[in-house]
Structure 1
Amino acid sequence: MDEATVAVPLWAWAAVGAVIAVMLAIDVLMHRDSHVIELREAVVWSAVWISAGLLFGLVVWFGLGGEPASAYFSGYLLEKALSVDNVFVFALIFGYFRVPPGYQHKVLFWGVVGALVFRLLFILAGAELLDRLSWAAFVLGAFLVWTGWRLAVRGKPDVDPERNLVVRLFRRVVPTDAQYHGDRFTTRVAGRRQATLLLVTLVAIEATDVVFAIDSVAAILAITTNTFLVWTATAFAVLGLRSLYFCLAGLLRHFGYLRYGLALLLAFAGVKLILAETPVGKLPVWLTLAVVVLILAVSIAASIRAIRRGRDVT
């Protein structure tokens, strides 16, 4: 069965939405005291989110078939891999604003909620664009290849929230108190409601994530244009972003070769998207899954080997 032609009933969308809402509610209840997330807790929650994503893949396998499941797993792995770059940038933003560790989970939680909304909008718009305009595949494909090249050669990303147009506009429009007031996003100063520095940090996180969302959604649409598969793969991968941050934020600088692997994945997705509109046609989903796994495995193994040899890969 071609994964792009799989018809998914409305109740399935509603069921997935309900599951995601319940999982987010549980996460809020477990972290309502704004405590510092230690490594052990982050690892446990990462395992929970990854298990949920893999379990849903099995549901797709038994419910829709092998090819849709392969498309889901390919998209899930790709989004998970691209999330690594998000984690590094989020760490830079937190460092820039000097966000206390106990407040970081709250910012990431609402950042993930915003990421889910933006990605759903991009997925629906992107799938409709590819369906109506055949030349859009060439444009998106070229964009992904260029993004991959930029990622490979740019080195460490330059993150300066003060130069972010959205952050600057927010501070100009919304009265802002440049301090933290506990974990509150707003506070009242001299009888006037103002945004706190924590809310400014959230705006910076959301504005930055929009750029990542464009890249990741375009890459997954290169695998399949089935909006249900793209949305669920993206959602389950993004849900674990908070735990992934607390697990990897201090380690990412050592995995230098991973950046090249992500760049190659983006370029591969772009070429795949372009080939789909040529006589070559769509590459098999199983081949896409194999390429994604191979590139990730090689880049991670190369990074670990470099660490053991004491080499600094940047």
Structure 2
Amino acid sequence: MTVHLIMWIVFWVVIAAALFVDLVVMQHHHGKVSIKEASCMVAAWIALAALFGGAVWLTLGQGKALEFFTGYVIEYSLSIDNMFVFIMIFSYFAVPAEHQPKVLIWGILGAVLMRFLFIFIGVQLITKFTFMIYIFGALLIYTAVKMITHDDDSFDPSQNPALKALKKIMPLKDNYHGENFFIKEAGKIFATPLFATVLVIETSDLIFAIDSIPAVLSITHDTFIVYTSNIFAIIGLRSLYFLLAGMAGKFEYLKYGIAAVLVFVGAKMLISHFYHVPTAWSLLVIVLILSAAVLASVLHKKKKNETLN
């Protein structure tokens, strides 16, 4: 049995166990999670990813470990921006707090499956068609520009193509019926707002994957590293959602930091055939950019509060 195969097995065992614990814990809270509790859970997920990265270091070497940590930081930072979109989706559908964990469960499980497919396709494309790295690089820079110029308040879930298609296929109820996705009345099947929410979440994550996977491919083409860094960033999203839902608006410059990261990794892909940026330097630059964005947000918030007082 090869070291890679052993690490794949370890990865799936850890993920399965972690998801089981997360589902039990989150179900116990019924969607009512304080900022302190959410912070502890987010810290636990990050610690778990760090431990796995350490295992990668011991088994596959320092280079692969640096690739894992860099990929993880990129994916986690992008996930933060994605969570703000999820908050707007939940607000649009007025999803009760006790039902939000179930929607996030399906969103995460769908993301785990979709990322595997997208990563496999992405690695194959870059391996067989070297010019794809330029397309991916340009896509990331375009995404960064769109992120900066796009007004978050203009996001409208009702314009989601999948939701429009659902309304044409079957009628949609206006009110919730527990945690049911579908109900039957007078011999007719109706979709509930809960199913519509899951549908919009899943299609949104599909769009997120198109942006985020090329970002990790700028660091490595190793399917194991790309996938594991992606999944470790995804599985803790429920805790991250509850944390950001309680802290929304406190990091107003964060999206500019994330956009800067996308520009950096996009440019890294565009110049990859002429100059290779060491992974350690990439990780340092990304951490510095995100730290600067968070610090600027905190200082701006503090200054604003002092002005009001």
**Quick check: TM above 0.5?**
yes
- Within the alignment, does 1:26 sit opposite 2:59 as a pair? no
User: 178, 182, 205: which is aligned to 1:186?
Assistant: 182
CA RMSD of aligned residues (A): 1.7
Residue in structure 2 matching 1:152, options 134, 148, 159 = 148
TM-score (norm 1): 0.91
Which of 285, 295, 302 matches 1:291?
A: 285
Q: Secondary structure at the match of 2:154?
A: coil
Q: Which residue of 2 aligns with 1:215?
A: 211
Aligned position for 2:89? 93
CA–CA distance in structure 2, aligned partners of residues 11 and 192 of structure 1: 50
Q: 1:86–1:8: structure 2 CA closer, same or farther, 3 Å change rule?
A: farther
1:303 matched residue in structure 2:
297
Letter paired with 2:12:
G
Assess if the C-alpha contact under 8 Å between 1:166 and 1:203 holds in 2.
yes
Deviates more, 1:233-242 or 1:149-158: 149-158
Question: Whole-Å Cα distance in 1 between the matches of residues 212 and 261 of structure 2?
Answer: 10
Q: How does 1:47-58 map to 2 (within 5 A)?
A: 47-58=43-54
- Contact 1:138 1:273 survives alignment (8 Å): yes
In the alignment, is the contact (CA less than 8 A) between 1:8 and 1:228 conserved in 2? Answer: no
Contact 1:70–1:285, Cα closer than 8 Å, also in 2:
yes
Change (3 A) 1:82 1:131: same
Superposed CA deviations along residues 279-298 of structure 1, whole A, max 9, x for unmatched, are 22x21010111011110111
**Cα distance in 2 between the residues matched to 1:21 and 1:53:** 14
* 1:79 CA displacement: 0.7
Q: Could you say which residue in structure 1 is the equivalent of 2:59?
A: 63
CA distance in 1, matches of 2:41, 2:198: 22
Distance of 2:89 and 2:3 partners within structure 1? 39
Q: 2:223 aligns with which of 221, 227, 238?
A: 227
| Contact 1:46–1:240 (CA under 8 A) maintained in structure 2 | yes
Change in CA separation of 1:138 and 1:164 when aligned onto 2, cut-off 3 Å = same
Secondary structure in 2 matching 1:89: helix
Query: 2:5 matched to 1:10?
Result: yes
- Give the counterpart letter for 1:17 in structure 2: W
Q: What does 1:30-179 align with in structure 2 at a 5 Å threshold?
A: 30-32=25-27, 35-39=30-34, 40-156=36-152, 158-179=154-175
* Separation (CA, whole Å) in 2 of partners of 1:86 and 1:49: 17
Asked if the contact 2:123–2:217 (Cα under 8 Å) also holds between the matched residues in 1, the reply is yes
Counterpart residue number, 1:3: none
Structure-2 separation of matches of 1:193 and 1:237 = 37
Aligned residue-pair number: 303
Letter in 2 for 1:38: V
Question: Shift in Å at residue 35 of structure 1?
Answer: 1.4
Shift in alpha-carbon separation, 1:98–1:261, aligned structure 2, 3 A: same
- Pair 1:201–1:34, CA change in 2 (3 A): farther
Q: Which amino acid aligns with 2:165?
A: L
Q: Counterparts of 1:109 and 1:49 in 2: how far apart (Å)?
A: 16
1:27 Cα deviation from its structure 2 partner: 2.2
Secondary structure at the counterpart of residue 180 of structure 2: coil
CA separation in 2, counterparts of 1:179 and 1:15? 43
Q: Deviations over 1:93-118 (max 9, x none)?
A: 11101111111111011101111111
Note the C-alpha offset of 1:257. 1.2
Worse-superposed segment, 19-28 or 34-43 = 34-43
Cα distance in 2 between the residues matched to 1:179 and 1:209? 25
Change (3 A) 1:140 1:104: same
Which stretch shows the higher mean deviation, 155-164 or 98-107?
Answer: 155-164
Q: TM-score, normalised by structure 2?
A: 0.93
Q: Do 1:34 and 1:105's aligned partners in 2 also have CA atoms closer than 8 Å?
A: no
